[in-house]
Structure 1
């Protein structure tokens, strides 16, 4: 079930929209505190954001720009103004689509489905997101809370494996087989060196404790984003 994050400051409209989307098979998070919208979105790690333009504190354009600095999460901008300028600005700030109020629910559902499909097709095996951590496989980079690190090939493969199997223990033997085809010729300490180097890099962007060791069993990521 895809998770949608609704950023709409009209409570009645927000509740009605959440109810309609839930009825159509989506899980919905409703934002009702507009002081830390970007942080809240990153914390929830939704599959798509429905983002109103006219908001208290910061408008939707600002929020979308800030999101794009750290996350590829799909964004559909929503406005009560039927303006070509709003549409152009929405796309220029990184939004994936744009829709005007009042919108037809069936049209909105079609837009959401289309954006989710494009996102899935485009990001398959290229971007992984977990609790605000964004792993860009094609760029060999990881980012969190606005900070970014470059990863070696081995570090990337370790992190990809652990995030893909998040909240599960991955054995050392499994990681070694993932990194090296001829595992029998790899010294056990070689994996430890790669793990320790990756752990230091993750700590440098605020992810201390992201990668944990389960003695005698292996490694895992079990992280709750507090950003």
Structure 2
């Protein structure tokens, strides 16, 4: 980030958003670390998941299958299914960042729910880039640090879900999304996505509800976008 960008109010706002989201999300890593070890995954394996997979939902899905006695194949398949959403995020943020070479690889690894939400929530290109990198890097560092803390503490932490850290991360994400729901169409799409997700959670594997919610948004976008040439035909 250049000096000029650092003085830009929009960039400073994006950085503040990124830091706040990184702290809220990173703290939740202690829950993953503790639950992973309790499920029978070793500390090195737990850290490898956070460092290399680095997708909270996919990580929780994997250890959930392991804890339930599922096979490694089932655990990987469930985790991969939920991680498909990151590929969709990549298609959104790639043109916004315009990175090449090793930066493209780094950006791909840091493309998660939170970094995408902060990036697309900005109105200026410089703020978009700053928000993405600050959020992605911040979550990566803090998530792994607190994953290690949770993994080392293990059973001593009790059930970390009772602390409400999942709610803190969710609240931070909702705070980012909420301003984007001012338009009536966005509210309708969000309501449909929530309804579809809630209906599917009890009956389908983890990851499918998230993909279904994304499909709702994609279909809504396709239906709402005028077909090319429609306006020209009407005028003729």
TM-score over 0.5 for the alignment?
Answer: no
Alignment TM-score, normalising by the size of structure 1: 0.30
More strand by share: 1
Higher relative contact order (CA 8 A, sep 6+): 2
